[in-house]
Amino acid sequence: MLSQLFQVLALASLSIAANPNYEDLFKPFVSPGTEIATVSEPDFAEVASPRWSTWQPPTFQAAIKPVTEADVQAIVRIASRNKIPFLATLNGHGSNKNYARVQNALNINLENFNSVVVDAVNNRLTIGGGVTFGQISEPLEKAGKEIQTGNAVCVGMVGATIGGGIGTLQGLHGLVLDALVSVKLVTAKGDLVVASKLVNSDLFWAIRGAGANFGIIVSATYEVYDQTSKGEVILASFGFPLSASRSAWEFVHSYDEHIPAPLVVIPAIRYNHTTQETSLNVAVVYYGTMAEAQPYLDQVAALNPISTAVQTVTNSELHEIFSMGACDRGGRHNGYTLGMKKTDPDTMEEIMQEMNDFYETHPNYNGSVSIQRYSNEAAMKVPDNETSYPWRDINSYLLFDNVYADAALDADVDDLSRSLRDKLQAASGYEDPQIYLNYAHGDEPLNQVYGASKLPKLRTLKKKWDPDHSFGFNFPIDY
């Protein structure tokens, strides 16, 4: 049966032309529900994954939306044999400049892999490879469980996991990839394999940090935990003007050495185009009761913020709030990032002033600079050699979310971001830059992204599992 399938697939590859007929090539070998469209067809936008950012996007000649695991296997085999480059995506949030190197490719839309199964007795969550963070909240909350996720509901759970996965429950439970128990993955050969600590453990090591380089994950099983504080989360937001932001930066700095696991601090520099003012917003999140959160809230309230809002929410409500605006598609996002373990108030004041100058001279620029500060306690409990993820020590993830519509601003934005990134790097507490892959710009050397200590093993495994470089367009591991 299997050899028959190989024979028909081999025949399929004979009919390859410069502009392949995707219907003829794929349709006979995938299940009837699989949709296919070329870029010139009217239904292309429905078949292809959506794209979050218009900056340096991949381009596709066709899209295919498989239904079954066997479909994904067939698609990978046929595309590989016909030398059709392909990229499997969900909501297209991956947005570093490497994606622009994906040209005239086949988009494999993973949206149909949307199953979510909670096994509350064994503390397990099994999802399809096309599930977003937002899709798991309700089933988990109904079961009285939680898991660490990213903060935006629209982001693919697997897409984020395989590059790390950072978010507000990180202090309590670690990186999202630390919760991963096993995956089912389609390899470059089109095989469907399981990877876990016990089976294909080398592959399992590699996908927890560099996963997009090694295959298409069709399902993933995670560990889940009982809800913290019955699901009660405190969210507070404090505003400071540029002129009175020093004390707020001092507050952020006071948590450089240690931040309690349930506490999250997220300072963000923004510009109000109506009032033409740059401000610092400090979000404080606490996984616990209002009484437990109060001492931290009092600390910030004592700094005389110009605005204060405090509310009790559930974890999913928290992430819905954080997603407002952030999940909107179609903007031009040219991001830069840096991992830090220190926030020097002098440097942060300087950054804020330079951002203010840029806002004033570039009225069409709408970006922000934020730092996500989480305890690294839980992530550091996992031995470094257990996963390929290299930067467990980072406690502050800096993100320049540069948003603007006009490509003519690219050069100015790049100049500013690079110069501020250098300045921040010098004060970051790290000798060499440590770059969180999922936020990377795409100009960073491989050792700053994957880690010099992890690269040799990653290269060996890349050669073993994906010798023809079918995967990993987001940040390709060479060898």
Ligand X SMILES: Cc1cc2nc3c(=O)[nH]c(=O)nc-3n(C[C@H](O)[C@H](O)[C@H](O)COP(=O)(O)OP(=O)(O)OC[C@H]3O[C@@H](n4cnc5c(N)ncnc54)[C@H](O)[C@@H]3O)c2cc1C
Nearer to ligand X, 245 or 337 (CB): 337
Least Cβ distance, residue 302 to ligand X (angstroms): 29
Reduce the DSSP state of residue 65 to 3 states and report it: strand
| Rounded CA separation 145/157 (Å) | 16
Can residue 169 be called a binding residue for ligand X (CB under 6 A)?
no
Which of 20, 85, 134, 167 binds ligand X (CB under 6 A)? It is 167
Burial 447-471 (b: 16+ CB within 10 A, else e): ebbbbeebbeebeebbeebbeebbb
| Rounded CA separation 176/153 (Å) | 14
Burial 218-231 (b: 16+ CB within 10 A, else e): bbbbbbbeebbeeb
Residue at 437: amino acid letter: L
Which of 20, 85, 134, 164 binds ligand X (CB under 6 A)? It is 164
Reduce the DSSP state of residue 150 to 3 states and report it: coil
| Rounded CA separation 165/437 (Å) | 10
Nearer to ligand X, 12 or 75 (CB): 75
How many CB atoms are closer than 10 A to CB 439?
22
Nearer to ligand X, 92 or 345 (CB): 92
Is residue 274 packed enough to be buried (19+ CB in 10 Å), middle (13-18) or exposed (0-12)? Answer: exposed
Nearer to ligand X, 240 or 333 (CB): 333
Residue at 291: amino acid letter: A
- The terminus-to-terminus CA distance of the chain in angstroms comes to 36
For ligand X, which stretch binds (CB under 6 A), given 39-47, 164-172, 198-206, 350-358? 164-172
Nearer to ligand X, 110 or 348 (CB): 110
For ligand X, which stretch binds (CB under 6 A), given 5-13, 25-33, 75-83, 146-154? 146-154
Can residue 166 be called a binding residue for ligand X (CB under 6 A)?
yes
Which of 80, 107, 137, 151 binds ligand X (CB under 6 A)? It is 151
Can residue 145 be called a binding residue for ligand X (CB under 6 A)?
no
Size of the site for ligand X (CB under 6 A): 34
Nearer to ligand X, 12 or 203 (CB): 203
What track of x and - describes contact with ligand X for positions 434 through 453 (by CB under 6 A)?
Answer: ----x---------------
Instruction: Kindly identify the residues of this chain, within the stretch 73-132, that bind ligand X according to CB under 6 A.
Output: 87-94, 110, 129
Nearer to ligand X, 12 or 394 (CB): 394
Q: Where are the beta strands (DSSP E) in 93-232?
A: 105-109, 116-119, 124-128, 145-146, 180-186, 192-196, 216-223, 225-226
Instruction: Kindly identify the residues of this chain, within the stretch 199-228, that bind ligand X according to CB under 6 A.
Output: 211-212, 216-217
Nearer to ligand X, 72 or 118 (CB): 72
DSSP symbol at 227:
P
Can residue 421 be called a binding residue for ligand X (CB under 6 A)?
no
Binding site for ligand X (CB under 6 A): 49, 52, 87-94, 110, 129, 150-152, 155-156, 158-160, 162-167, 211-212, 216-217, 326-327, 438, 474
